[in-house]
Structure 1
Amino acid sequence: MNFDHFLNDLRTRLQLPLPGHAAHDLMKAEPIGHWRPKLDHSNPARPGAVLILLYPEAGIVKLPLIKRATYAGAHSGQISLPGGKAEAGETAVDTALREAEEEIGLDRSRVEVLGMLTELFVIASNFTVTPVVAAMHGPIVFKPDPYETAGMIYGDLFDLLREESVLKKEILAAGQYRMMAPHFEIEGEVVWGATAMMLNELRVILKDVSRD
Structure 2
Amino acid sequence: MSVTPRGARAELLAAARALSWSTSFPPLFDAEGAKPASVLVLFGVLDDIPATTREASVARDLDVLLQRRAPTLSSHAGQVSFPGGRAEDADADAAATALREAEEETGLDPHGVEVLAMLPEVPLAVSNHRVTPVLAWWTSPSRVAAVDHAETVEVFRVPVAKLLDPANRYMSVRHYGAQTFRAPAFEVDGTIVWGFTAMVLHAIFDASGWTIPWNEQDERPV
SS at match of 2:156: strand
Equivalent residue letter for 1:111: V
Equivalent residue letter for 1:65: L
Deviation at 1:13, TM superposition (A): 3.7
Q: Where does residue 200 of structure 2 map in the other structure?
A: 198
The answer as to whether partners of 1:160 and 1:203 remain within 8 angstroms in 2 is no
What whole-Å deviation, never above 9, does each CA across 1:100-145 have from its counterpart, x for those lacking one? Answer: 0000100001111111323110111010001111111355311321
Question: Normalising by structure 2, what TM-score?
Answer: 0.75
Residue 45 (structure 1) aligned with residue 48 (structure 2): no
Q: Where does residue 161 of structure 1 map in the other structure?
A: 164
> Where do 1:42-81 residues align within 5 Å?
44-57=33-46, 58=48, 59=50, 60-81=61-82
**For residues 156 and 117 of structure 1, what CA distance do their matches in structure 2 show?**
22
**For residues 184 and 127 of structure 2, what CA distance do their matches in structure 1 show?**
20
What whole-Å deviation, never above 9, does each CA across 1:124-173 have from its counterpart, x for those lacking one? Answer: 10100011111113553113212321112321123333444421356799
Q: Where does residue 85 of structure 2 map in the other structure?
A: 84
Question: Normalising by structure 1, what TM-score?
Answer: 0.78
* Structure 2 portions without partners, runs of 5+: 51-60, 212-222
**For residues 116 and 179 of structure 1, what CA distance do their matches in structure 2 show?**
26
Q: Where does residue 219 of structure 2 map in the other structure?
A: none
SS at match of 2:103: helix
**For residues 187 and 132 of structure 1, what CA distance do their matches in structure 2 show?**
26
What whole-Å deviation, never above 9, does each CA across 1:46-85 have from its counterpart, x for those lacking one? Answer: 0000001111124521112111012251211111100000
Question: What is the number of equivalent residue pairs in this alignment?
Answer: 192
Q: Which has the higher contact order (CA 8 A, sep 6+)?
A: 1
**For residues 77 and 210 of structure 2, what CA distance do their matches in structure 1 show?**
34
Q: 4+ runs of 1 displaced by more than 2 Å?
A: 38-43, 137-140, 158-166, 168-173, 178-182
Counterpart selection for 2:96 from 94, 115, 118? 94
Q: Where does residue 35 of structure 1 map in the other structure?
A: none
The answer as to whether partners of 1:121 and 1:127 remain within 8 angstroms in 2 is yes
**For residues 168 and 46 of structure 1, what CA distance do their matches in structure 2 show?**
28
Pairwise CA RMSD = 2.8
